[in-house]
């Protein structure tokens, strides 16, 4: 067969284009506006056409193209063969044979390879067949629609043949060819939807992903002759539908473009949801058929019965006999718009989406068949993905009125029943914590497009604050709709989610309405950061949590540039892969004239002394309003403490709390701090030095701070430092000063002794001590040491409200003193006794005293 004949066969094929079936391959190729689709091979994304050509040049020259319906497989194959006939590609092949699996399924009996080729409409002369046999490496077989072939290609169930002239069944010939037994050296290109037969094919497998966003834009520009209309249609689709997987299918894009063009030409508003789109699709199809209202209603009800049958039994098609039982007799000439014929009188819907949509419409038209919402959904949940979406949309008058004009009245009982079910099931779902069910509820509300319904269902008692995890783009769309309907809210928590530019475009309106925005444990893309900053700046957001994200210095710089006029009060940057390079940008935010930032959290970032010094310089500015700074584990040392001390005494610093946990500040660093803490301009109230490499040598300087009349510290955490007995006793001397302001003191695991506990007990009883919270846990002093605390607790001058003596080696012997102290105390609210050597014998006495003391709130 000459190349020109092959080309004519492709280009002059019957144009089977329908609004649901997609544009025919011949039409696409003839128009000169072919847009290649994207394929995935291993971990790479490539143009499908290029990937096929590369695969056909490999050692095993078999390429298997796998993708869902309408993803562009058939058109790509036809375009490849057409380009071969024009001499534009694959010129190492002298013969290319193009087959449809569904046509080969009709072949009965046995035949040889030459006959099989002839039956494929290739009138190949004997001399050419000899050339095929002699040079099989110059032959390419193109097989399309493997999923429509009902016979197995498993080579183990066939007696494979290597003889070109030996008659065999078609399935045996195909298995022999694809396994390499017959015409060894030939190349094969196979296209299919996912099917079990794929596992019997060797070679390169390509996953067809369809159109990416840029390819969709090219497709829309090709479809619309008017550039403005193309841009309007494309942007609208991306905003309302582009987050659905099926938007990658060229066939679906053809449907959308066709409907959008019809709506734009008629001056009609474009649809806002998937349900609204399919309302317009059905309206267009019904109007095109020019049927009476009764016939249109009958057709849709018959389609609904067929859809129910297929979805319930999870069959993709129905036989002619089954079709007759659904009531199509009077509308057989009208079904082509909805159904396609495959195989021997097998009928199937052009897409599963229209299948589910007509079933949803039938539900509201036919109360006698579909009387119960929950039963309806349960019967079809195995095969339906969007049925409840469509039912939710169609339950609203604004969406079903167009259909009522053509099909007659929807059942008010069905609408009422659906809404009652939806409201009760949603309220139940939102009281629980199944996040996927929450998202499903949001999707249904989005399809309904009823703001009043959102406010009825998502009342605060029915919708506790939930951190939304692993959000897909379509989940973000539904969530954003719900939040914008509700108006200003307190908190949005999103975690473990990839935040692309598209994600932030969708969520930006919600972010602007929220006081607290949490994007923790997220993978944040650079392109999304300006949109986030803009949403925060334009809205009411006061707290932004980006902790445990991959933010990094570059993206933080972009964020800071957009936060110059924000009302942000708290910024959480814990574990964000930051270094000293970002601190200049943060300093710029802190010193801007409009800055409202009061709390900055930066735990586990390698900013070091260089970065921290930049933040200290910012605190000299009168514009800086920073009150709390948390920088645990940030590689700080004593080298930056002079700069910090200078900022505290500048007269401009508003810092009240600093957390240096797990930074090696050391005794020399604390010495620099203590000088500042004794200055009248220093107003620091909370200093946390947990695990800062301190020894008893620093306690003399801290004692001087306690003794200073200018000391403003009310909280000091020295936990996990080796202060020892000598150092701790020096602290106690300072604590005895009558006006010492310390109210919270943490000395967890500081190598304290019973002598220190005795002195602490003395401090608590002296009548001037202000300590309300005391942590002395993980110091092994036993009953003897802690007895000094029980004596203090019993003293009327003791103001303790919290006491932690976990892991101090207490035994049952302390219980009598403990209970006596609790009976005599009226201030203690929380007592921590965990991980001591108390036994069951201690429980009754402790329980009894807890019953007696109404002031005690918590005993651990």
Q: Print the SS3 string covering 807-836.
A: CCCCCHHHHHHHHHHHHHCCCCCEEECCCC
| Per-chain mean pLDDT for the chain | 90
pLDDT at 344: 62
- The runs of H, that is alpha helices, within 525-622 are 529-538, 552-562, 583-591, 608-618
Kindly report, residue by residue over 535-548, the tens digit of the pLDDT: 999 989 999 999 99
Residue 277 has pLDDT above 80, yes or no: yes
**What region does 183 belong to: left with phi over 0, alpha with psi -120 to 50, or beta?**
left
Please report which helix (H) or strand (E) contains residue 300, including its range.
Answer: helix 293-313
Bridge partners for 356 per DSSP: none
Best CA proximity match to 585, nearest among 606, 611, 623, 551: 611
Residues 23 and 222: their CA atoms lie apart, in Å, by 13
Selection from 196-200, 340-344, 542-546, 842-846 with the highest mean pLDDT: 542-546
pLDDT at 109: 79
Give the angle 535-537-543 at the CA atoms, nearest 5°. 90
pLDDT at 241: 93
Residues 50 and 33: their CA atoms lie apart, in Å, by 17
User: Which residues make Cβ contacts (< 8 Å) with residue 236, sequence separation at least 6?
Assistant: 260, 270
**C-alpha dist (Å) from residue 716 to 687, 727, 758:** 5, 15, 20
Residues 176 and 158: their CA atoms lie apart, in Å, by 8
Residues 589 and 561: their CA atoms lie apart, in Å, by 8
Q: How confident is the model at residue 211 (pLDDT cuts 50, 70, 90)?
A: very high
Six token digits for residue 652: 């401009």
Best CA proximity match to 66, nearest among 211, 186, 243, 210: 210
Residues 541 and 492: their CA atoms lie apart, in Å, by 10
Kindly report, residue by residue over 131-181, the tens digit of the pLDDT: 778 888 999 999 998 888 888 889 998 989 988 889 999 889 999 999 999
Best CA proximity match to 507, nearest among 531, 540, 537: 531
pLDDT at 120: 67
Kindly report, residue by residue over 586-606, the tens digit of the pLDDT: 999 999 999 999 999 999 999
pTM of the predicted model as reported, rounded to 2 decimal places: 0.83
Residue 331 has pLDDT above 90, yes or no: no
pLDDT at 429: 85
pLDDT at 313: 81
Residue 460 has pLDDT above 70, yes or no: no
- For the chain, the domains span 3-210, 212-267, 271-464, 752-860
Give the angle 100-104-106 at the CA atoms, nearest 5°. 130
Q: Terminus-to-terminus CA distance in the chain, angstroms?
A: 89
Angle at which helices 387-394 and 352-365 pack, to 10 degrees? Answer: 40
Residues 599 and 657: their CA atoms lie apart, in Å, by 9
Kindly report, residue by residue over 690-717, the tens digit of the pLDDT: 999 999 999 999 999 999 999 999 999 9
Q: What is the CA radius of gyration of the chain?
A: 38
pLDDT at 332: 63
pLDDT at 561: 92
Six token digits for residue 433: 């914590």
The widest CA-to-CA distance across the chain, in whole angstroms, is: 116
Name the CATH superfamily housing domain 752-860: Ribonuclease Inhibitor (3.80.10.10)
Residue 330 has pLDDT above 70, yes or no: no
Kindly report, residue by residue over 722-776, the tens digit of the pLDDT: 999 999 999 999 999 998 999 999 999 999 999 999 999 999 999 899 999 999 9
Angle at which helices 387-394 and 274-289 pack, to 10 degrees? Answer: 80
Selection from 310-324, 448-462, 806-820 with the highest mean pLDDT: 806-820
Kindly report, residue by residue over 10-40, the tens digit of the pLDDT: 777 666 667 888 888 888 998 899 999 999 9
Kindly report, residue by residue over 604-636, the tens digit of the pLDDT: 999 999 999 999 999 999 999 999 999 999 999
Best CA proximity match to 80, nearest among 130, 167, 21, 143: 143
DSSP label at 715?
Answer: E
- How many Cα atoms occupy the beta-carbon half-sphere of 413 within 13 Å? 7
User: Where is average pLDDT lowest: 310-314, 462-466, 542-546, 826-830?
Assistant: 462-466
Residue 359 has pLDDT above 80, yes or no: yes
Per-residue burial over 374-412, b if 16 or more Cβ lie within 10 Å, else e, is: eebbebbeebbebbbbbbbbbbbeebbebbeebbeebbe
Angle at which helices 373-380 and 412-431 pack, to 10 degrees? Answer: 70
Residues 371 and 386: their CA atoms lie apart, in Å, by 19
pLDDT at 466: 57
For the 3-210 domain, the top CATH level (class) is alpha beta
Residues 173 and 177: their CA atoms lie apart, in Å, by 6
Residues 747 and 777: their CA atoms lie apart, in Å, by 7
**Mean pLDDT computed over 305-330:** 81
Q: Would the CA dihedral through 618, 622, 623, 629 be positive or negative?
A: positive
Selection from 493-502, 568-577, 760-769 with the highest mean pLDDT: 568-577
CB 439 within 8 A of CB 479: yes
**Mean pLDDT computed over 381-408:** 93
pLDDT at 108: 67
pLDDT at 222: 95
pLDDT at 596: 93
Six token digits for residue 72: 């562009």
CB 786 within 8 A of CB 815: no
Residues 685 and 715: their CA atoms lie apart, in Å, by 6
**Mean pLDDT computed over 772-782:** 95
């Amino acid at each position: 067969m000459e190349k020109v004949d092959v080309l004519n066969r492709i280009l002059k094929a019957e144009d089977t284009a329908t609004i649901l079936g997609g544009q025919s391959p011949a039409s696409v190729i003839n128009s000169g506006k072919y847009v290649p689709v994207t394929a995935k091979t291993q971990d790479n994304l490539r143009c499908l056409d290029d990937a096929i050509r590369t695969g056909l040049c490999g050692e095993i020259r078999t390429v298997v193209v796998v993708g869902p319906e309408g993803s562009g497989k058939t058109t790509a194959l036809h375009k490849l063969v057409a380009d071969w006939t024009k001499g534009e590609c694959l010129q190492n092949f002298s013969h290319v044979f193009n087959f449809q699996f569904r046509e080969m399924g009709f072949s009965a009996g046995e035949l040889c390879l030459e006959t099989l080729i002839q039956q494929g409409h290739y009138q190949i002369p004997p001399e050419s067949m000899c050339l095929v046999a002699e040079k099989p490496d110059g032959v390419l077989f193109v097989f399309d629609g493997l999923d429509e072939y009902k016979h197995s290609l498993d080579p183990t169930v066939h007696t494979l043949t290597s003889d070109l002239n030996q008659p065999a069944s078609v399935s045996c010939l195909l298995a022999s060819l694809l396994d390499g037994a017959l015409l060894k050296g030939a190349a094969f290109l196979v296209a299919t939807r996912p099917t079990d037969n794929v596992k019997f094919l060797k070679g390169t497998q390509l996953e067809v992903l369809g159109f990416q966003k840029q390819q969709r834009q090219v497709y829309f520009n090709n479809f619309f002759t008017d550039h403005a209309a193309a841009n309007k249609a494309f942007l609208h689709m991306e905003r309302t539908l582009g987050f659905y997987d099926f938007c990658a299918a060229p066939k679906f894009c053809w449907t959308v473009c066709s409907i959008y063009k019809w709506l734009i030409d008629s001056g009609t508003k474009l649809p806002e949801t998937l349900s609204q789109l399919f309302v317009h699709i059905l309206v267009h199809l019904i109007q095109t058929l020019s049927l009476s209202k009764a016939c249109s209603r009958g057709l849709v009800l018959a389609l609904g019965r067929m859809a129910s049958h297929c979805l319930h039994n999870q069959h993709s098609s129905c036989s002619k006999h089954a079709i007759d039982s659904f009531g199509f007799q009077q509308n057989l000439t009208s079904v082509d718009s909805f159904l396609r014929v495959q195989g021997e009188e097998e009928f199937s819907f052009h897409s599963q989406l229209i299948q589910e949509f007509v079933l949803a419409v039938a539900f509201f038209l036919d109360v006698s068949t579909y009387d119960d919402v929950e039963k309806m959904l349960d019967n079809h949940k195995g095969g339906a993905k969007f049925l409840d979406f469509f039912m939710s949309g169609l339950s609203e008058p604004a969406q079903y009125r167009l259909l009522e004009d053509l099909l007659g009245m929807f059942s008010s009982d069905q609408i009422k029943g659906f809404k009652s079910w939806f409201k009760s099931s949603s309220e139940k779902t939102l009281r629980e914590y199944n996040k996927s069910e929450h998202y499903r509820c949001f999707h249904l509300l989005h399809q309904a497009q009823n703001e009043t319904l959102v406010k009825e269902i998502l009342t605060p008692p029915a919708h506790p604050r939930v951190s939304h995890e692993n959000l897909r783009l379509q989940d973000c769309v539904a969530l954003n709709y719900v939040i914008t309907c509700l108006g200003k809210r307190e908190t949005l928590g999103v975690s473990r989610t990839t935040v692309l530019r598209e994600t932030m475009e969708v969520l930006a309106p919600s972010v602007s309405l929220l006081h607290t925005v949490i994007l923790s444990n997220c993978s944040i893309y650079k392109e999304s950061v300006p949109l986030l900053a803009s949403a925060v700046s334009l809205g009411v957001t006061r707290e932004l949590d980006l902790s445990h994200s991959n933010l990094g210095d570059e993206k933080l710089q972009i964020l800071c540039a957009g936060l110059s006029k924000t009302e942000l009060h708290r910024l959480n940057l814990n574990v964000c892969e930051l270094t000293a390079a970002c601190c200049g940008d943060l300093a710029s935010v802190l010193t801007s004239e409009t800055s409202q930032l009061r709390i900055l959290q930066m735990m586990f970032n390698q900013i070091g002394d260089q970065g921290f010094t930049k933040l200290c310089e910012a605190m000299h500015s009168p514009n800086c309003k920073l009150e709390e700074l948390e920088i645990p584990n940030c590689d700080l040392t004593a080298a930056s403490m002079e700069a910090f001390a200078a900022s505290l005494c500048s007269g401009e610093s508003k810092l009240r709390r600093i957390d240096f946990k797990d930074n090696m500040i050391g005794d020399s660093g604390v010495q620099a701090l203590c000088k500042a803490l004794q200055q009248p301009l220093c107003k620091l109230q909370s200093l946390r030095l947990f695990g800062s490499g301190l020894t008893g040598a620093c306690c003399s300087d801290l004692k001087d701070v306690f003794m200073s009349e200018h000391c403003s510290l009310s909280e000091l955490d020295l936990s996990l430092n080796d202060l020892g007995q000598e150092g701790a006793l020096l602290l106690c001397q300072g604590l005895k000063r009558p006006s010492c302001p310390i109210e919270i003191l943490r000395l967890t695991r500081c190598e304290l002794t019973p002598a220190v506990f005795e002195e602490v007990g003395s401090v608590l009883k002296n009548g001037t001590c202000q300590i309300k919270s005391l942590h002395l846990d993980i110091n092994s002093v036993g009953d003897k040491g802690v007895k000094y605390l029980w004596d203090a607790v019993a003293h009327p001058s003791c103001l303790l409200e919290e006491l932690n003596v976990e892991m101090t080696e207490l035994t049952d012997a302390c219980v009598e003193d403990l209970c006596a102290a609790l009976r005599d105390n009226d201030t203690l609210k929380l007592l921590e006794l965990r991980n001591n050597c108390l036994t069951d014998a201690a429980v009754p006495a402790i329980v009894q005293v807890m019953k007696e003391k109404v002031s005690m709130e918590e005993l651990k």
